[in-house]
């Protein structure tokens, strides 16, 4: 019987960390995990034996909306089953040719929030990379860093990929490049701040924050 073709899906943001979680918390086969994460079975086996990626913290794909519990249960019961990544509500970002990034008018107002997120959580990404990633300018980045941007009191750090300003793959590539430039291991465990802080977002939405504005103290240069 011919093996069904795997449908094209959006790449996972952190495939190795996702693979580690699936190895540790599910009864899936190495083949199933390899197909879901777009890694090889040899890599999955090496991760399981800690021959590579030692210290990587597992990333739960269910909590991050990349996999449903029902889909996981289905494939655990069927070793021949192929996991299908969960569909996201966010529109996928189409591949573009080289040149300045065009951002729809409806998304341009989100750029300062995306810059604030990167400066706070991923300081390894250089200003030049930020400009290329979300289509902004260095003066704008500097204004947000120095808290001189006109909209400083209302800034709300949000992941640029969640805002549709870039793809998760592009963001991950920029972050890994920044880590390499800083002399850090791109495969090392990521800080907990890398995850979008949903609790803080909820607090802001409910009007419970009493700070009166966004706190930039975590990423201001000394």
Arithmetic mean of pLDDT, 16-33? 93
pLDDT above 90 coverage of the chain, percent: 37
Higher local confidence (pLDDT), 83 or 88: 83
Contacts of 28 (CB under 8 A, 6+ apart): 22, 36, 72, 75, 76, 83
Domain ranges in the chain are 15-77, 105-205
Looking at residue 55, its pLDDT comes to 80
> Side-chain half-sphere of 114: how many Cα atoms within 13 Å?
27
Can you read off the two tokens belonging to residue 216? 């930039």
Whether 194 contacts 159, CB under 8 Å: no
Q: For the segment 117-131, what is each residue's pLDDT rounded down to a tens digit?
A: 999 988 899 999 999
| Its pTM surpasses 0.85 | no
93: pLDDT strictly greater than 60: no
18: pLDDT strictly greater than 50: yes
Arithmetic mean of pLDDT, 8-14? 70
> From residue 124, how far is each of 21, 32, 155, 179, 196 by CA, in Å?
25, 33, 21, 6, 17
Q: For the segment 198-209, what is each residue's pLDDT rounded down to a tens digit?
A: 444 444 445 444
Q: What is the CA radius of gyration of the chain?
A: 19
Q: Give the distance, in angstroms, between the CA of residue 170 and the centroid of all CA atoms in the same chain.
A: 9
47: pLDDT strictly greater than 80: yes
Contacts of 32 (CB under 8 A, 6+ apart): 75, 79, 81, 82, 83
């Amino acid at each position: 019987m011919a093996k069904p073709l795997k449908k094209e899906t959006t790449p996972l943001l952190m495939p190795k960390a996702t693979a580690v979680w699936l190895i540790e918390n599910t009864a899936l086969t190495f083949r199933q995990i390899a197909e879901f994460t777009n890694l090889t079975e040899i890599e999955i086996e090496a991760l399981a034996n800690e021959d590579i990626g030692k210290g990587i913290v597992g990333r739960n794909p269910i909590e991050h909306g990349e996999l449903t519990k029902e889909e996981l249960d289905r494939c655990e019961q069927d070793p021949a089953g192929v996991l299908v990544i969960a569909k996201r509500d966010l529109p996928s970002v189409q591949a573009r040719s080289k040149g300045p990034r065009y951002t729809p008018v409806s998304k341009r107002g989100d750029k300062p929030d995306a810059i604030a997120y990167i400066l706070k959580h991923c300081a390894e990404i250089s200003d030049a990379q930020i400009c290329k990633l979300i289509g902004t300018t260095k003066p704008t980045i500097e204004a947000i860093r120095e808290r001189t941007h006109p909209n400083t009191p209302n800034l709300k750090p949000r992941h640029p990929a969640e805002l549709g300003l870039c793809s998760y793959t592009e963001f991950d590539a920029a972050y890994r490049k920044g880590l390499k430039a800083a002399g850090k291991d791109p495969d090392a465990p990521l800080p907990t701040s890398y995850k979008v802080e949903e609790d803080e977002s909820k607090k802001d939405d409910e009007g419970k924050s009493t700070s009166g504005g966004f706190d930039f103290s975590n990423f201001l240069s000394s």
